[in-house]
Chains A and B, each alone.
Chain A
């Protein structure tokens, strides 16, 4: 979701804030702490999702506009409760495009947080450690290297 891909730095900041509402910070690692923003870079570059870039851009813009209207500040500057309210209102509006936008945010956050680190997200396997997946992944790695097969 780099500038070269048609996303401005401002949009990127908005995206980071939005992803961190899908998996928020606190006593748990947030989506961006798990590498979701970098994962989104990879995912939005895939043929399957490239056509969704306009949806992402327009959704992020609307997110910010809505925040200005309801919280009186940019989405990035709003507090967590205000951000959640904006996101929920967008999702619940009778507008299928906005529902698709929120569903896209969820997909970017979860794929970026828990996908294979080789795809750019899941920073150093932090997402897998969070959910206790490393042991299973070790089994898959073993199969990928046939000389270590039992």
Chain B
């Protein structure tokens, strides 16, 4: 028996665990994956990516993808939509760009008009703002408040100054200024100086996709979870696969059934159940839980669990600067961070695509991982496989003779009828449990807006004096974050959750990851998920005082 069971230990689950345990509740966190420590993380680009230790093996637990863009829309087995299965969730291998959303991200439908299944959020930026500040200080975010003119109100500055930047960042700022743009230091969950007992970043160039061997990155496993455990009231159980949320036969949940590391099935009772396993897996768990009152899955009486699935949309470009022609830029290798973002194009002028929403442009130094870069150049840069002398010349230019600034565009994934998650009718995981089947459809806006945003980035590269500027992928689905499958709203006919991420019909059941988000936002959503979880923790604490949960 525990007061609160939290299913999942990432950006959604960990903040709940911290606040609720600090408030005196006993919290049990059930995490499907393993617990890693700093010494587990290798800085090596061949073995680590090929083994991808953060997500399940395809033959153990696949996601089935029905890609409605493809001519053959048969379900395909793969890893699409997995974020991470380990203590700390996706924050363990995140790049850590912890941007706040724009105030109008909370009201896209009102600002931009109807398109596909876009809806306003049931809360405003101002309601979330105090929790954004809490999140930035709990995690440890380096940044410069007040520099980005498109930021919403900020009640507190960042706890750390921005990371030390490469001189190319200043060249980018000058070029941006000349174009009337407003580059600012990208807020990162990476220490620019020692913070909360963790060291400053060593600029190792193995960040996104890798675990941090020094603890300089503010993953949940380095920050909020240890603090929760230190209260003595939080147990984090690794390798615990939850297969069902249980009910008491009435309109209340009673706990959950999980399979432990030894394969033994266990039941844990709880007054409150918080589901936070990422938008795809949270929906899967709710659809797997079918008590008599909810034969189609918990909270799925109006068929909305799993609908409105969203990711992000990405686009790429690279600007290259010849080392021997730009001594003024001091193209040194020592620093790995450029770290500038531009929000001037977060909303777009009319006429580009059906939706007037853009996104954020983030610039960083191109990561120099020789094998990965060489393979990308040989296999994906041109129309055909490259080898021989042409490959050697290209490798020398990209890896030896120039320095690359990489542009990554983030924009909203538009919720639409053709993108959702359901249970696969035939494929099961290694425990015999049906896996998630993901349907993917991309509205035309994604590519149209992506192309327009990349053009803006290429203009900036030209103004910087880049010797080469090339667009990469345009408007692709970026599945490193997922959202929307239990939409929050005020109307139980059109939403799964209340504005406080509480089930409309089951008062002691909450879903506290990206599932609640009516729209994905045009920036990475990790900070928003953390902040929202802190907000929901306050709500649960308040309601528990009123004995709402028995």
Any B CB within 8 A of the CB of A21: yes
A-B contact pairs, 28 of them (CB 8 A): A22-B388, A23-B392, A24-B389, A28-B392, A84-B388, A87-B387, A91-B385, A103-B379, A106-B379, A106-B385, A106-B387, A109-B387, A110-B371, A111-B375, A116-B44, A119-B46, A130-B400, A131-B399, A132-B400, A135-B333, A136-B205, A136-B368, A139-B204, A139-B334, A142-B202, A143-B202, A144-B213, A146-B213
Q: Are B387 and A21 in contact (CB under 8 A)?
A: yes
Any A CB within 8 A of the CB of B206: yes
B223 to chain A, nearest CB (A): 19
The interface bits of chain A over 53-93 (1 if a CB of B lies within 8 angstroms of the residue's CB, else 0) are: 00000000000000000000000000000001001000100
Q: Which residues of B contact A116 (CB under 8 A)?
A: 44-46
Known: A116-B44, A136-B333. A131 touches B375 (CB 8 A): no
A119 to B400, CA, bound (A): 23
Instruction: List residues 41-59 of chain B with CB under 8 A from any CB of chain A.
Output: 43-47, 50
Q: Are A48 and B334 in contact (CB under 8 A)?
A: no
Q: Which residue of B lies closest to A110 (CB)?
A: B374
Q: Which residues of B contact A28 (CB under 8 A)?
A: 392
Known: A24-B389, A144-B43, A144-B213. A131 touches B395 (CB 8 A): yes
The interface bits of chain B over 356-397 (1 if a CB of A lies within 8 angstroms of the residue's CB, else 0) are: 000000000000101100110011000001011101100110
Q: Which residues of A contact B388 (CB under 8 A)?
A: 21-24, 84
B530 to chain A, nearest CB (A): 26
Q: Which residue of B lies closest to A146 (CB)?
A: B214
Q: Are A115 and B213 in contact (CB under 8 A)?
A: no
Any A CB within 8 A of the CB of B142: no
Known: A22-B388, A46-B50, A135-B334. 10 other contacts (CB 8 A): A24-B388, A106-B379, A119-B47, A133-B370, A136-B205, A139-B204, A140-B43, A142-B204, A143-B213, A150-B202
Contact-residue size bin, chain B (C-beta under 8 Å from the other chain):
35 or more
Any A CB within 8 A of the CB of B200: yes
Q: Are B375 and A110 in contact (CB under 8 A)?
A: yes
A6 to B378, CA, bound (A): 28
Q: Are A114 and B374 in contact (CB under 8 A)?
A: yes
Interface class of chain B by DSSP = loop
A-B contact count (CB 8 A): 98
Any A CB within 8 A of the CB of B199: yes
Residues of A whose CB lies within 8 Å of any CB of B are 21-24, 26, 28, 46, 48, 84, 87, 91, 99, 102-103, 105-107, 109-111, 113-116, 119, 127-128, 130-133, 135-136, 139-140, 142-144, 146, 149-150
Q: Which residue of A lies closest to B336 (CB)?
A: A139
Q: Which residue of A lies closest to B203 (CB)?
A: A139
Q: Which residues of A contact B214 (CB under 8 A)?
A: 143, 146, 149
Q: Which residues of A contact B378 (CB under 8 A)?
A: 106, 110
A104 to B204, CA, bound (A): 29
Q: Are A22 and B46 in contact (CB under 8 A)?
A: no
Q: Which residue of B lies closest to A150 (CB)?
A: B202
Q: Which residues of A contact B385 (CB under 8 A)?
A: 91, 99, 102-103, 106
Other-chain residue from A99, A127, A144 in contact with B370 (beta carbon distance below 8 A): A127
Instruction: List residues 97-114 of chain B with CB under 8 A from any CB of chain A.
Output: none
